[in-house]
Amino acid sequence: MIHPTILPMATPRDARKPGRTVSSRVFALLNAFSPERPALRLVELTAVTGLPVSTVHRIAAELVELGALKKERDGVYRIGLRMWELGALCPQPRTLRDVSLPFIHDLYEATAENVHLAVLDGDEALYVERVWGRRSVGVVSRVGGRSPLHATGVGKILLAHAPRELQQAVLAAGLKRYTPHTIVMPGLLMRSLQEVRATGIARCAEELSLGTASVATPIHGPDGRVVAALSVVSHTVTHTRSLAAVEPALRLAAKSISRELAKGYSAGDPPGTVTPIRSAAR
């Protein structure tokens, strides 16, 4: 689940230092867009990137011509379909999603709740798939969205199995409090991560947003290391009494996905494109 509090014109991490190369400026422009800012005008792009207005205008015009951006009649820019086409080619999420989707759908049918698949990207959990229905509790997560590692079920799974260096970096950066239930004490978080490793289950009740709770478990790659996390998100009211039914189904789905990955699954990609968790600087 994702529930960040971001000011309308907050500067994205990757756009703060656009650099001097052409490629860095292009990515600074593209990184200005976010779930909170899906549509931006030229003056807003200039403010977010810190680039000169003439540079922004030139790069934006070129990206529109290439299909990477779309310019509306009212002058608003949006991400273009070409970016979606290129993103779909990324091997790790595509391979992982191809293997996982049948089991994710089975898990949804068994629980009628939101099902999330996430991987570690830097110091955040990146959602690569989500299945939900009309009976599922409303959440703000989305495919391609991100969430903090310390306040979500999938995040705790990924953080628990991440290198010690990344765990320390997350603690050093400070644990943001999203609700009164968010764990912000480093010692308490580390004890909970130890329990996650021991039990193979992470439980998170109203730590990121009120009214929702999640239970998550790891997915293992061909070499046995954790490559992703699978979770079921439900309403807090029904979460406790549904755990007895959800956890066995969740474990079974994750084990089935891990078993398929262990076969060296390939769907147009070379075997081994599912990469184990590692501390990656972005």
pLDDT for residue 228: 95
Convert the pLDDT of each residue in 99-139 to its tens digit.
899 999 999 888 888 899 999 998 999 988 888 665 544 45
Least confident of 4-13, 100-109, 177-186: 4-13
Quote the CA–CA distance of 152 and 18 in Å, as a whole number. Answer: 31
Convert the pLDDT of each residue in 236-280 to its tens digit.
765 555 666 789 999 999 999 999 988 865 433 333 334 444 333
Predicted TM-score (pTM) of the model is 0.64
Least confident of 39-48, 112-121, 136-145, 195-204: 136-145
Convert the pLDDT of each residue in 44-77 to its tens digit.
999 999 999 999 999 999 999 999 999 998 899 9
Least confident of 41-45, 136-140, 168-172: 136-140
At residue 186, does pLDDT exceed 70? Answer: yes
* Mean pLDDT score across all residues of the chain: 80
Q: If pLDDT is split at 50, 70 and 90, which confidence band does 98 have?
A: confident
pLDDT for residue 159: 97
* Assigned CATH topology for domain 13-87: Arc Repressor Mutant, subunit A (1.10.10)
Domain assignments of the chain as residue spans, ordered by start: 13-87, 91-262
Q: What is the DSSP string of the chain?
A: -------TTPPPGGGS---SSHHHHHHHHHTT-BTTBSEE-HHHHHHHH---HHHHHHHHHHHHHHTSEEE-TTS-EEE-HHHHHHHTT-HHHHHHHHHHHHHHHHHHHHH-SEEEEEEEETTEEEEEEEE--TTSPP----TT-EEESSSSHHHHHHHHTS-HHHHHHHHHH----SSTT----HHHHHHHHHHHHHHS-EEEESSSSTTEEEEEEEEE-TTSSEEEEEEEEEEHHHHHHHHHHHHHHHHHHHHHHHHHHHTT--SSS-TT-SPPP-----
Residue 110's nearest CA partner among 251, 236, 217 is: 251
Q: The domain at 91-262 falls in which architecture?
A: 2-Layer Sandwich (3.30)
> Between these two residues, 13 and 40, which has the higher pLDDT value?
40
pLDDT for residue 152: 93
- Give, in order, the Cα–Cα distances in Å from 16 to each of 28, 45, 132, 142, 144: 8, 12, 35, 24, 21
pLDDT for residue 61: 93
pLDDT for residue 115: 92
Percent of the chain with pLDDT over 90: 49
Sheet containing 69-71, strands listed edge to edge, beginning at the edge strand earlier in sequence: 39-40, 77-79, 69-71
Q: Find which of 30-34, 83-87, 183-187, 235-239 is predicted with most confidence, using mean pLDDT.
A: 183-187
